[in-house]
Amino acid sequence: MHINYVNTIKKNSLGITGILLLFFMSLLAFIAPVLAQYSPVEPSTQTLAFPSASHWLGTNDIGQDIFSRLIYGARTSLLIAAGAGSLTAFIGAFLGISAALAGGICEKIIMRAADILLIIPNMVVIILVAAYLRPGIAALILVIAVFGWQGNARVIRSQALSLKERAHVAAAKAFGAGNLYILFKHIIPDLFPLITTSFIYHARRAVFMEAGLAFLGISDPAVISWGTMLNRALDFSYLNNWYWLIPPGAALSITIVSFTFLGYALEETIDLRLGDKNA
């Protein structure tokens, strides 16, 4: 009935690559305090230093160690990926299932709200809202989630509507199962693959958005972020500072690629199962 994620990913080379890359980035984030030789935030008077044995990737304009900031930056990215990914997936699933099960005016309101958000280019809205909110990781997660659930909600609603009419749900009803029992025992487990894919998709989107907003300067400058690092490095591009510019770009690419590969691998399997069920 339900997907075995480990087996699914194991059979897919893209999935394995994605998992390995994500594991690598997570490991970096986790052991950052061990790997970092310096505090990522402590400035020093040794500014704009070239890579050396003491500073592997040199120092930035206020003397912070670039390597330490790079690995601590993974924490910010992955935290926002996990936070925004799960919150978006949860809001999408909650609203999608509610619309499908409640129907009537409730369904209409939720779906029209989703339509409106689908029409508005959400990157622009997120930039505007982020510019007016107090900056910070929590605010960023909230903004990304609040303006990102709509596509997810539509897909989940249509799938939940279909599940509602399935034979096993009808059978459960015939045996006297209540709405909540059916929801938690049959509908949510069957929707779980979709919710997981949605999580992966939105986690990838959140990494990209966080870096983009930080790059544009619409974030808390005190938060260690690859986007901010890229922004700062570009300010000093006249010094030919490749050692400052390339690492955050590469780290960002690896993280986004890892989520993308993982998403592909899961999507392939889920599409197949949904196809089987619909048949």
Partner 1 sequence: MAKKTIVFFIIFLVMAALVAGCSPGAKNTAPEPTENMPSVYTVADNVGDWGFPAPYSHYLRGPGYIRMSLIFDTLVWKDENGIKGLLAEKWHYDQEQNMYSFSLRKDVRWHDGKKLTAEDIAFTFDFTKRYPYPWCDTSIVEKVEAEDDYTVKIFLKEAYAPFLTNIAGCLPIIPKHIYQNVENPSNFKGTKAVTGTGPFKLLDYNKEHGTYLYEANENYYLGKPRVDRIRFVKVSGQMIPAALQKGTVNAGEIPPEVVSKFQQNFKVLSSGHDWNAKLIFNHNIKPFCEKEFRQAVAYAIDRNRLVKISQRGHALAGSPGMLPPDSFWYAPEIKKYEFNPELSRKMLKKLGCNQQNFEILTTSRFSRDAELIKEDLEKVGLIVSIRSLEDKTLDARIEDWDFQMAINGHGGLNGDPQCFNKFVLGGDFNSVRYRKNEELVAMLEKQLSIMNDERRREVVREIQEVYAAELPALTLYYPNWHWAHDGKVGLYYTPGGVSIGIPVPLNKLAFLEGHNVR
Exposed/middle/buried for residue 190 (C-beta within 10 Å: 0-12, 13-18, 19+): buried
**Sign of the four-CA dihedral 255, 257, 259, 261:** negative
Give the tokens for residue 137: 């990781």
Kindly tell me which of 175 and 238 has the beta carbon lying closer to partner 1.
238
43 binds partner 1 (CB under 8 A): yes
Q: Output the CA angle 216-219-224, nearest 5 degrees.
A: 100
Give the tokens for residue 265: 């691998």
Kindly tell me which of 63 and 151 has the beta carbon lying closer to partner 1.
63
Amino acid found at 94: F
Partner residues linked to 59 by β-bridges: 65
Member of 17, 47, 98, 260 binding partner 1 (CB under 8 A):
47
Member of 111, 173, 220, 260 binding partner 1 (CB under 8 A):
220
Binding segment (CB under 8 A) for partner 1, from list 15-23, 179-187, 188-196, 216-224: 216-224
What is the closest distance, in whole angstroms, from the C-beta atom of residue 200 to partner 1 in the complex?
Answer: 31
235 binds partner 1 (CB under 8 A): yes
264 binds partner 1 (CB under 8 A): no
221 binds partner 1 (CB under 8 A): yes
Member of 58, 135, 148, 193 binding partner 1 (CB under 8 A):
135
Member of 217, 250, 253, 271 binding partner 1 (CB under 8 A):
217
Kindly tell me which of 96 and 227 has the beta carbon lying closer to partner 1.
227
What is the closest distance, in whole angstroms, from the C-beta atom of residue 39 to partner 1 in the complex?
Answer: 11
| Site residue total, partner 1 (CB under 8 A) | 25
**Tokens 């197949």 appear where?**
272
- C-alpha 275/C-alpha 37 separation (Å) is 52
58 binds partner 1 (CB under 8 A): no
Kindly tell me which of 31 and 131 has the beta carbon lying closer to partner 1.
131
The 3-class SS string of 97-123 reads HHHHHHCHHHHHHHHHHHHHHHHCCHH
Are 139 and 85 within 8 A, CB to CB? no
What is the closest distance, in whole angstroms, from the C-beta atom of residue 123 to partner 1 in the complex?
Answer: 18
Q: What is the DSSP string of 27-59?
A: HHHHTHHHH-SS-SS---S-TTPPP-SSSTT-B
Member of 234, 246, 250, 272 binding partner 1 (CB under 8 A):
234
* Contact positions vs partner 1 (CB under 8 A): 41, 43-45, 47-48, 61-63, 131, 134-136, 217-218, 220-222, 231, 234-239
